[in-house]
Structure 1
Amino acid sequence: MRPRIIPILLLDSRKRLVKTRRFAEEVYIGDPFNVLRIFNEKEVDEICVLDINASREGRSPDVGFISELASECFMPLSYGGGIASVSDAAPIFAAGVEKVVLGRVSNRQDVIRTVVNEYGSQAVAACIDCRRVDDAWRVAIDRGEKVIERTPVEQAKLVEQAGVGEIIVQNIDRDGERCGYDESLIRQVSSAVDVPVVALGGAGELGHLVAGLKAGASAVASGSAFTFIGRLRAVLITYPNEDQSRQLIANSVVA
């Protein structure tokens, strides 16, 4: 299966699409339904929608809203935010979402196993948010506000043991910076586990996506690369066309 190129869409508390910078400085992008329709036309590989405040605010997933999103989405859809149990995940899958993304709750192997046992590994991804603390990588939760004494590699091994089918590695320090992924981080995590690793955090152009794949990611994801253009970060919804995608993947093959 060829590597996937995945736009990440972030929802704020009012269900507007925003883009963050180091998990702060929320910039309004647009209406989620309008943006989804644009990505439908561009025939993207997959789309991932994350409610970035749900867990921190103690909100359960809004199943009605998610169902509306799924009905507008013509590509595989992943959803994360506020999922704390299999009872939270069940109506999301029933609404037509193919994959749930577990964030804070991915620290609980029992919850992961319950969801995996019910829906299969292919339907469950864990998102590991991480940042540099005293020159060492640490896992962070609650939009990066709380750091725990576990490295991304240690966390990746734990969620893999619990049964997730995919791991998203989110670099908080490079979120929205458009300076490229931290290739060393991607290499460390992808070489430590056997499940696919998705690189997230830092991509701002197609060359960065190539570098992420070369570093060992099975898929590359971004918000900025597909929503901003130019130094002034003007909003423009983009996605590589078929020829660009083919060339991007060809360039990522390590000789």
Structure 2
Amino acid sequence: MAAQRRRTLFKPCIDLHDGQVKQIVGGTLSDAPESLKTNFVATKPPAYYAELYKQHGLEGGHVIMLGKGNTEAAKQALAAWPGGLQVGGGITDQNCLEWIEAGASKVIVTSFLFPDGKFSAERLEKVSRLVGKERLVIDVSCRRRDDRWFVAMDKWQRITEMEVCKESLDMLSNYCSEFLIHAADVEGLCQGIDEDLVEKLGEWVTIPATYAGGAKSVGDLELVDILSDGKVDLTYGSSLDIFGGSLVKFDELVAYNTAARRAAQQ
């Protein structure tokens, strides 16, 4: 009997800014507060969302600290579901083990790997050695330049020299167990995913990967599944009802995951 192919799943997120759960238009995130466009600011604490995801068995979600002032909020989320969430944003060789001890299942790194915008193999090797490959996620969030994508760091405002392509992902996958890819140009806009990028990721990735940016309907899960041949998972933000959105219901995503997992077991 042929093995059932992997299916795209919904992966949840908790984005933190100034200690609160928020949904932000990715391209507006910078050190200039007046340029920031925020779609949603939660009245509930981070732990509420962590507990909600735990209740529905939504493993592999990520907590992202967007800038300073989010440490305590992130620790509250991790404490609500120890071992159930990944954490990223300001992760370095100096604090990566502290976050594992605080309850993170994995740590997510980006900017630390690119001092002065240039990739450092030495830094990658060091953080991978410290936490172990299985507990490291590399965030290759990117911005599009014509028909290519380049890793973006420092709140997605600084474009690095690393192109997101098969060669770079193959190299990075030697040191981590998963990728997180925000398409920063469409993040928070609810105007659709970057289909070209998702299709390419399906061709390139050899380890689990989660795409974020622009998802606006439950049908986007099927779309990502088709485009990536089930190799890429999808996260939702501003379009989701638990984040003030009106386009996607959280319960529908939970139901989709349940059905997808059941199909995979048949």
Q: Give the TM-score normalised by the residue count of structure 2.
A: 0.77
CA distance in 2, matches of 1:17, 1:157: 33
Alpha-carbon distance in structure 1 between the residues aligned to 2:237 and 2:96: 24
Aligned to 2:13: 8
Pair 32,66 (structure 1): closer, same or farther in 2 beyond 3 Å:
closer
Higher relative contact order structure (alpha carbons within 8 Å, sequence separation ≥ 6): 2
Q: What SS does structure 2 have at the residue aligned with 1:167?
A: strand
Identity %: 18
Please list, as runs of the form range in 1=range in 2, the aligned pairs for 1:1-255 lying within 5 A after superposition: 3-12=8-17, 14-24=18-28, 25-26=37-38, 27-30=40-43, 31-54=45-68, 62=71, 65-73=73-81, 76-85=84-93, 87-107=94-114, 108-153=120-165, 155-161=168-174, 163-216=175-228, 217-226=231-240, 227-230=243-246, 238-240=250-252, 243-247=255-259
3-state DSSP of counterpart to 2:173:
helix
SS at match of 2:143: strand
Structure with more strand by fraction = 1
Distance in structure 2 (CA, Å) of the matches to 1:92 and 1:192? 29
Q: Deviations over 1:110-133 (max 9, x none)?
A: 222223223322211111121123
CA contact (8 A) 2:10 2:253 kept: no
The 3 A distance-change label for structure 1 pair 167 and 17 is same
Partner-residue secondary structure (3-state), 2:10: strand
* More deviation, 40-49/192-201: 40-49
Structure 1 length-normalised TM = 0.80
Report if the CA contact (8 A) 1:190-1:197 is conserved.
Answer: no
CA distance, structure 2, for counterparts of residue 164 and residue 50 of structure 1: 18
- Aligned partners of 1:112 and 1:164 also within 8 Å: no
Whether the 8 Å CA contact 2:138–2:179 is kept in 1: the answer is: yes
Q: Is the 8 A contact 2:141 2:152 kept in 1?
A: yes
- Structure 2 vs 1, CA of residues 75 and 3 (structure 1 numbering), >3 Å: closer, same or farther? farther
Q: Aligned in 2, Cα 1:121/1:133: closer, same or farther, shift over 3 Å?
A: same
Does the C-alpha gap of structure 1 residues 36 and 4 become closer, same or farther in structure 2, counting only changes over 3 Å? Answer: same
Query: Are the equivalent residues in 2 in contact too, given 1:102–1:125 (CA < 8 A)?
Result: yes
Deviation at 1:147, TM superposition (A): 1.4
- SS for the counterpart of 1:177 is coil
- Structure 2, gaps ≥5 residues long: 1-5, 29-36, 115-119
Report how far residue 210 of structure 1 moved. Answer: 1.8
How many positions carry a matched residue from both structures? 239
- Contact 2:62 / 2:86 at 8 angstroms: preserved in 1? yes
SS in 2 for 1:19: strand
Query: Secondary structure at the residue paired with 1:204?
Result: coil
Say what the alpha-carbon RMSD is for the aligned residues.
2.9
